[in-house]
Amino acid sequence: MKYNYKYRLNPTEALTETLLYHVDTCRQLYNHVLYKLNEADDIPARYEAQGRLPDLKSWWDDLGNVYSKVLQMAVKRVYDNLSTLKAQKENGRAVGMLKWKPPREYRSLTYNQSGFELKNTSGRPVLWLSKIGEIPIHLHRDIPENATIKQVTVKQEPTGEWYATFGIDVDEATPEKPERPEQVVGIDVGILKYAHDTDGYAIESPDFSEERERLERAQRDLSRKQHGSANWEKQLRVVADCYADLKRKRRDFLHKLSNYYATEYDLVAVEDLDAKGLVELPGNSRNRAGAAWGTFLRMLEYKCEREGTHFVAVDPKDTTKECASCGVKTDKPLWVREHSCPSCGFEADRDANAAWNILSRGLGKVGVVHSESTPVETALPVDTSVSAKRVVEAGSPTLKERTASAVSE
């Protein structure tokens, strides 16, 4: 199985200058290759373009100071972007041509297969990179012993911090998914409540109002600075710090929540949402973007694969309208938060009803008939909201007990 592990680097000033030099050399190579491809009548294959690098080194001295694999990955980056552009055109999107990369938009370099090594020098871990040297690294978690590091990407974030992302292959068999899952759950994601599941719990959306206010204030201050001045550069770093803080907190919440569902259940059913399309819809797009549903579902999917849990994405059409008890459709505007079926009399929270429909469709998709109680019998008359702060340590087996105690309180 393939994973990415990200670690903070602590380069000295000298190493930082060296890293920036290598990154900028790769950026110039990227722009050079892009220029040559735009001028060519026929675009050569990627390996043919990479094969021309030795000839470039004969007159471009800076290329000789950068590890050869890093240069090859810079060329590959051009071709990857061209492939993405071609795919978008084939999907009918109006796209232009690739543009040259300015320094602000090219911040990373990649070592593939070789040229890197994790070492322990004088009792501290360091990352050795060919033609750069040893960079102190903060290994906040161990890389699995049965893992092979295939690739290392070193990147400077807009905050000025440096990070190394390790692409690793773990030599382990994927856990088998149970043929008849017993612990099953359906999840309906939203804005008022981030997630409402069929166990009767509603996870509140995390409150990032203070972080957003701090970011907006920093952006207003930036708009008052003269573009390109020293004060503008300084304030730009403040904006980047605020944005990074918001992003870290949001991803921490999403990692813990997705890990909980992946480890505690045998089957997880969700809606197959077009998260990008939902954000582009008019009205309330900011809250939809901030919810990061697409990120949550991607995290949940790969973690379910890792844990041997069924991950089932179902058609979201009419999951809110259909009655989870009898299947009769009832139209209701967004402001109506309760489901009340005129046919069978089943009453439940709007999102809870949707979660049951999602679970039912998910079980049907994998050919499982669930034997537990019907939604009518399990509908809870009390408020079972769970604060986002109670999404405790990732994988903690105590979340259910904590949420249950929160309800009883």
What is residue 407's predicted lDDT score, i.e. its pLDDT? 34
Can you state the angle between helices 293-307 and 230-264, rounded to 10 degrees?
40
Structural domain includes residue 54? yes
Contact assessment for residue 407 and residue 382, using Cβ atoms and an 8 Å cutoff: yes
**pTM to 2 decimals?**
0.80
Whether residues 28 and 108 share a domain: the answer is: yes
Inside any domain, residue 175:
no
Q: Within a domain: residue 177? A: no
Q: Does residue 156 lie in a domain region?
A: yes
What residues make up the domain containing 104? 2-170
Token pair of 364 as six digits: 């049907």
332 near 287, Cβ under 8 Å? no
Same structural domain for residues 277 and 210?
A: yes
Mean pLDDT of 161-166: 96
Residue at 176 is within a domain: no
Residue 402 lies in a domain: yes
Q: Who has greater pLDDT, 151 or 1?
A: 151
Cα(3)–Cα(5) distance, rounded to whole angstroms?
7
Nearest CA among 39, 40, 41, 75 for reference residue 56: 75
CA–CA separation, 293 and 244 (whole Å): 19
- CB 140, CB 130: distance < 8 Å: no
* Cα R_g (the chain), whole angstroms: 25
Same domain membership, residue 78 and residue 134: yes
314 or 366, higher pLDDT? 314
Domain count within the chain: 2
Tokens of 53: 């690098």
Q: Give the type of residue at 394.
A: A
The more confidently predicted of residues 321 and 275 is: 321
What is the model's pLDDT at position 377?
Answer: 42
Q: What span, in angstroms and rounded, lies between the C-alpha atoms of 399 and 343?
A: 36
What single DSSP character describes residue 43? P
Q: Which of 103, 135, 170 is the last residue in one of the domains? A: 170
Average pLDDT over residues 347-375: 75
Contact 4, 167 (CB under 8 A): yes
Q: What local confidence, expressed as pLDDT, does residue 394 receive?
A: 40
- Cα–Cα distance measured from residue 314 to residue 309, given in angstroms and rounded to the nearest whole number: 16
What's the confidence (pLDDT) of residue 219? 95
% of the chain at pLDDT higher than 70: 85
Lowest mean pLDDT among 35-49, 166-180, 270-284, 326-340: 270-284
343/205 same-domain check: yes
**Taking each helix axis from N to C terminus, what angle separates 230-264 and 399-408, rounded to the nearest 10 degrees?**
90
Which domain-ending residue is among 145, 170, 195? 170
DSSP state of 215: H
Q: Give the whole-angstrom CA distance, residue 325 versus residue 341.
A: 9
Contact 318, 271 (CB under 8 A): no
352: left (phi over 0), alpha (psi -120 to 50) or beta: alpha
Is residue 271 one of the residues assigned to a domain? yes
CB atoms near residue 151 (< 10 Å): 17
396 lies in some domain:
yes
What mean pLDDT is reported for the chain? 83
Residue 401 predicted with pLDDT over 50:
no
Same domain, 117 and 205: no
Q: How many Cα atoms occupy the beta-carbon half-sphere of 57 within 13 Å?
A: 13
> Among the listed ranges 109-118, 124-133, 277-286, 319-328, which one has the minimum average pLDDT value?
277-286
- Check whether 349 has a pLDDT greater than 60: yes
Q: Residues 263, 150: one domain?
A: no
In terms of domains, do 22 and 77 share one? yes
Whether 17 shows a pLDDT value over 90: the answer reads yes
Residue type at 203?
Answer: I
